[in-house]
Structure 1
Amino acid sequence: MTVENYENVVIGSGEGGKYLAWHLSQSGQQVAVIERRWIGGSCPNVNCLPSKNEIWSAKVAYLSQHASTFGVAPTKPPSDMEAVQERKRRMVQGLIATNLEHYKSSSTELVMGEAKFVGPKTLAVQLNDGGTRTLKAERIFLNLGTHASIPPVPGLAEARPLTNIELLQLDRIPEHLIVLGGGYVGLEFAQAFRRFGSRVTILHRGSQLLTNQDADIAGSLLETLLKEEIEVIAVSETLRVAGTSGSSVTLRVKTDAGETTVAGSDILVATGRAPNTTSIGLEIAGVQLTEQGYVKVDDRLQTTAAGIWAIGECAGSPQFTHISYDDFRVIRDNLAGIDRTTAGRLVPSCLFTDPPVSQIGLTEEEARRRGIPVRVTKLPMAAVLRTRTLDESHGFMKALLEVGGDCILGFSMIGPEAGEVMAIVQVAMLAGLPYTTLRDATFTHPTMAEGLVFLFSEVEPRR
């Protein structure tokens, strides 16, 4: 067995891993990246970007069907999912090509295969095109990612349900899509495929969609979904499943009103994700896991094994591409002797429904749970004149302020361009600016950002 020695090996080519690899290579170090399948990670291939690509196609379909609202003759042809898929594939192919160019220009070696620890800092790689290689590195970075988990419901796995990966490959419109889960993935796809022409039913275990959001945000989004004739069955437990997804399925469901049967053509499972930390031999490397199966790390993303770090979702970091990128920066800076940690970082999020939902910092519910007193200010989107020009005035924006000062502790919004507006508030929070800075700013009229002036003008002066 020939052992190849490297300075650095990154397992997984997701966001944080690939940027770290390219950075180290450009710094003159020897780096190999081992990737099983998705060049560039799941985000450009089967998650963030392709899903938002299809969501925008669904938005266009929706606008074409409601064009009379804008004084334009409406059209209601069935959505051409083959054309939707082709548009998405062109984008994905372009993203893969861009990633490959970065590997080439940075002189980073990309090894396509599956890695497994066979000794401390030693990996056996089963190559995709046949054969094996054994790599040993001074430093190893785990960028393993997560996968959609299938709940242990009798008959569910046998029904061969869709996950986000398979749904994004569909070139047909499901007659009746049953979505298990009322979180980010489930809600985005539920609305998109309803707009493409599917009947859609959402089955959610909890009493509230978007469990981590405030009830008023979740309630406002629910209003939108119901208006678009999406059926939502909350506080539901799927007891058993029969049939085959893609043909015909029936689900026996327990609700507060008793048991009922839900029948459809396809099932999408969007009930959560599990880390890709099994069957890789982490115990051989001395890498410990948490009870939930994530890699145990400190606030500098170092594992329990010397010379091994973890990045992104497998390390239990919030499951967002932008957080994986920030994990890269934490590791990069610490390797350079700059003290940087994950502790206390602001984590922005955006749900890309229509209207989108954004949030950063504290929610009202979290403030209550932690016993943090706050002042709350709220503004309906109809008060932001830009929404009148778009005929999209549903929703509101809300901010939480400290009681003993004027710092912004949290911000939430459901409304057009929610993610972009949130970014402005995020910068103010990072800079420690008082809310009065945004209240007194001069924003362009008419824009969504202008609404921040009126939101913070509603704040009563601090006593």
Structure 2
Amino acid sequence: MSSHENVDILVVGSGEAGKYLAWTMAGEGHRVAVVERALIGGSCPNIACLPSKNIIHSAKVRWFATRAAEFGVELESAATDMKAVQARKRAMVDGLRQLHLDRYQASGAELIMGDARFVGEKTVDVELVGGGTRRISGERMFLNLGTRAIVPDVPGLMAARPMTHVELLDLDRLPEHLIVIGGGYVGLELAQAMCRFGARVTVIEHGSQLAGYEDPDVGAAILELFRDEGMTVHLGAEVRRVEGTSGDRVRVSTAGGDGEGIVEGTHLLVAAGRTPNTDDLGLELAGVELNEKGYIAVDERLATTAANVWAMGDCAGSPQFTHAAFDDFRVVHDNLTGGDSTTRDRLLAYCMYTDPELARVGLNETGARRRGIPYRLLTMPMAAVLRTRTLSEPRGFMKMVIAADSDDILGFTVFGAEASEPMAAVQTAMVAGLSYRDLRHAIFTHPTMAEGLTFLLRNRPTAPSH
């Protein structure tokens, strides 16, 4: 082992929050070291957000090709070439990795590839990818450890060698019949993409609806979409046993409200949640405590139980979105440079990249009822937005949750084409503290999706009926 090294800023993990903190602090003159196990830039540019959206867009292009006659275009073939799909994705990932390496070089932050394990307060031993070990301490330490996919403890499931999103996003061959365990964001996005490429797809969800955190009408709309596109969906179905091997033949036994059942397919994707990468790192030697779910315990400024140690992103229990991790960076950096930022009451938006998209900011009806908050509703079908007519994409709806005793906007949900566009407009209004009546004065460009807000906001809010 080489001599004990000391730096001003030591970051473990090069995900969204970690890399921006490193680049920014190095640019401000600090000596910065970042330890990364494998994925330069974290999961988002390598195996998660951006690769998945790349694959999803390829699937959408193929879907358009199958509908070409509807748009007045004649095509002889709309066959899927998964090798070409993957080549496009891998070229993007290679470019993003190089972009990250260039940013490290330009910032002056040192990127160290290896596995870090704590040996004391703010001190790690790093087993280098190329061999050897370095011991490094930081005056201030930042943990950006991320999460990984969970494979539930179901008899035969692990032995079946199921795919997570990581393996599915690297497939060079289209599955004949893909079975998806899990009806959350990841499972739904990838299920639809594989279906649109031409695979037969079955989704198994243990809950009573798809997208369980969303309102029932949203879950019902997604279910209708999936069934219209030819997918089979089993709700309220618990996976009891798995037999076979993913990539060859798999047999999934289920039980639920409809009794026992068997689903047979060729490939198996598990999209059943995530768990933090906090085990077997020696965090206890650094005085860093975990909560009951294994996430790093932090306060509203993301400080851990150890002095001068912060945690950011998924491992700190933050919402598992890249934009939330970036905001974690903002909160931490602001406080390091004399500010006073917290994670308390921050307004986060969500977007699921099915087609059409699902976008939400603030409370939905389910959240308002859970908190006992009285509310009113503004609702409108997406078919009333003229932009959807130009795209031949009228499916879906938008709805705004408004306080019962004021005109405050509590939340906004859109299920429809380009849903993230009007969602961003409402999010901006909510950040500015505008009421729904104030937003009425905005003149939205015609014909855009955001223009739908013009007509939604002309309506009179009504009390919900349950």
TM-score (norm 2): 0.98
Q: CA–CA distance in 2 between the matches of 1:440 and 1:305?
A: 50
Query: 1:375–1:402: 8 Å Cα contact kept in structure 2?
Result: yes
Query: 1:375–1:403: 8 Å Cα contact kept in structure 2?
Result: yes
Task: After TM superposition, give the deviation of residue 438 of structure 1 in Å.
Answer: 2.4
Compare 120-129 and 68-77 and name the one that shifted more.
68-77
Counterpart position of 1:7 = 8
Task: After TM superposition, give the deviation of residue 72 of structure 1 in Å.
Answer: 1.5
Counterpart position of 1:270 = 271
What is the DSSP-based 3-state SS (H/G/I as helix, E as strand, rest coil) of the residue aligned with 2:426?
helix
| 1:274-332: CA deviation from partner (whole Å, max 9, x where unpaired) | 00000110011010001100000000000000011000000000000000000000000
Task: After TM superposition, give the deviation of residue 437 of structure 1 in Å.
Answer: 2.6
Q: CA–CA distance in 2 between the matches of 1:193 and 1:244?
A: 19
Q: Does structure 1 residue 169 correspond to structure 2 residue 164?
A: no
What is the DSSP-based 3-state SS (H/G/I as helix, E as strand, rest coil) of the residue aligned with 1:309?
strand
Counterpart position of 1:159 = 160
Q: CA–CA distance in 1 between the matches of 2:120 and 2:401?
A: 51
Matches within 5 A, 1:14-163: 14-163=15-164
What is the DSSP-based 3-state SS (H/G/I as helix, E as strand, rest coil) of the residue aligned with 1:349?
strand
Q: CA–CA distance in 2 between the matches of 1:445 and 1:199?
A: 39
| 1:7-50: CA deviation from partner (whole Å, max 9, x where unpaired) | 11100000000000011100100000000000011000000000
Task: After TM superposition, give the deviation of residue 420 of structure 1 in Å.
Answer: 1.6
| 1:202-259: CA deviation from partner (whole Å, max 9, x where unpaired) | 0001001111100111111111110001100010111111110000000111121211
Q: CA–CA distance in 2 between the matches of 1:255 and 1:60?
A: 36
Amino acid of the structure 2 residue aligned with 1:180: I
Matches within 5 A, 1:253-268: 253-268=254-269
What percentage of aligned pairs have identical amino acids? 56
Matches within 5 A, 1:441-460: 441-460=442-461
Q: 1:458 to 1:74 in 2, by over 3 A?
A: farther
Matches within 5 A, 1:7-406: 7-406=8-407
Query: 2:60–2:193: 8 Å Cα contact kept in structure 1?
Result: yes
Task: After TM superposition, give the deviation of residue 137 of structure 1 in Å.
Answer: 1.1
Query: 2:65–2:78: 8 Å Cα contact kept in structure 1?
Result: no
| 1:359-379: CA deviation from partner (whole Å, max 9, x where unpaired) | 111110111111101110101
Q: CA–CA distance in 2 between the matches of 1:224 and 1:435?
A: 30
Query: 1:35–1:114: 8 Å Cα contact kept in structure 2?
Result: yes
How many residues of Structure 1 are paired with residues of Structure 2 in the alignment?
462
Amino acid of the structure 2 residue aligned with 1:275: P
| 1:77-119: CA deviation from partner (whole Å, max 9, x where unpaired) | 3200000000001111111111101000000000000000011
What is the DSSP-based 3-state SS (H/G/I as helix, E as strand, rest coil) of the residue aligned with 1:339?
coil
Compare 305-314 and 365-374 and name the one that shifted more.
365-374
Query: 2:296–2:315: 8 Å Cα contact kept in structure 1?
Result: yes
Q: CA–CA distance in 2 between the matches of 1:461 and 1:216?
A: 17
Amino acid of the structure 1 residue aligned with 2:192: Q
Q: CA–CA distance in 2 between the matches of 1:308 and 1:266?
A: 42
Query: 1:67–1:75: 8 Å Cα contact kept in structure 2?
Result: no
Q: CA–CA distance in 1 between the matches of 2:81 and 2:226?
A: 23
Amino acid of the structure 2 residue aligned with 1:313: D
What is the DSSP-based 3-state SS (H/G/I as helix, E as strand, rest coil) of the residue aligned with 1:454?
helix
| 1:379-422: CA deviation from partner (whole Å, max 9, x where unpaired) | 10000011011100000000011122211110000001111210
Query: 1:349–1:358: 8 Å Cα contact kept in structure 2?
Result: yes
Query: 1:249–1:265: 8 Å Cα contact kept in structure 2?
Result: yes
Q: CA–CA distance in 1 between the matches of 2:300 and 2:461?
A: 38
Q: CA–CA distance in 1 between the matches of 2:148 and 2:270?
A: 11
Task: After TM superposition, give the deviation of residue 157 of structure 1 in Å.
Answer: 0.5
Task: After TM superposition, give the deviation of residue 74 of structure 1 in Å.
Answer: 4.0
What is the DSSP-based 3-state SS (H/G/I as helix, E as strand, rest coil) of the residue aligned with 2:457?
helix
Query: 1:33–1:110: 8 Å Cα contact kept in structure 2?
Result: yes
Query: 2:204–2:234: 8 Å Cα contact kept in structure 1?
Result: yes
Query: 1:64–1:75: 8 Å Cα contact kept in structure 2?
Result: no
Q: CA–CA distance in 1 between the matches of 2:149 and 2:196?
A: 24
Amino acid of the structure 1 residue aligned with 2:266: S
Q: CA–CA distance in 2 between the matches of 1:74 and 1:367?
A: 48
Task: After TM superposition, give the deviation of residue 76 of structure 1 in Å.
Answer: 3.9
What is the DSSP-based 3-state SS (H/G/I as helix, E as strand, rest coil) of the residue aligned with 1:105?
helix
Query: 1:164–1:268: 8 Å Cα contact kept in structure 2?
Result: yes
Task: After TM superposition, give the deviation of residue 70 of structure 1 in Å.
Answer: 1.0
Task: After TM superposition, give the deviation of residue 459 of structure 1 in Å.
Answer: 2.2
Query: 2:377–2:462: 8 Å Cα contact kept in structure 1?
Result: no
Amino acid of the structure 2 residue aligned with 1:405: S
Q: CA–CA distance in 2 between the matches of 1:17 and 1:218?
A: 35
Task: After TM superposition, give the deviation of residue 69 of structure 1 in Å.
Answer: 1.1
Q: CA–CA distance in 2 between the matches of 1:461 and 1:358?
A: 22
Amino acid of the structure 1 residue aligned with 2:166: I
Task: After TM superposition, give the deviation of residue 75 of structure 1 in Å.
Answer: 4.2
Q: Does structure 1 residue 440 correspond to structure 2 residue 460?
A: no
Q: Which 4+ runs in 1 deviate beyond 6 A? A: none
What is the DSSP-based 3-state SS (H/G/I as helix, E as strand, rest coil) of the residue aligned with 1:457?
coil
Query: 1:317–1:324: 8 Å Cα contact kept in structure 2?
Result: yes
Query: 1:358–1:412: 8 Å Cα contact kept in structure 2?
Result: yes
Q: CA–CA distance in 2 between the matches of 1:403 and 1:239?
A: 45
Q: CA–CA distance in 1 between the matches of 2:216 and 2:77?
A: 35
- Structure 2: runs of 5 or more not aligned: none
